[in-house]
Amino acid sequence: MRGRFLLVLAFSIATSGCIDRVVESRLRSALSEAGLSDRNSSCMATRMVDRLTIGQLRKLEELKDREGEAAKPVGLRDYVERVRRVGDAEVIAVTASSAALCATGLG
């Protein structure tokens, strides 16, 4: 019984890391598609995946779907302004702090 528990635990840990990488990759792509630089997209995705839930990340995805291609931001400030429309204080705070830290090179 204990061996089976350890096997399930090991599998859960292994797949969790894999899922995190997939989610981070999707977020990085979405940020790039939103008009952010590759450097900022990569930096922000790393921070945001660790700090937001899947539900919160989906809110960001829905924002992209609602606004379509015509609303592409030209920089971090524009992107943070768009994220304010999500209405989730934690999503806004994490996005804004990630943008600030990544823009200054501290992220």
Whole-structure pTM over 0.85, yes or no?
Answer: no
| In 34-88, alpha helices (H) | 38-51, 54-67, 76-83
85 residue type, one letter: R
Angle between helices 89-104 and 54-67 (to 10 degrees): 80
- What are the tens digits of pLDDT across the range 57-92? 888 877 765 655 545 656 888 889 889 988 999 999
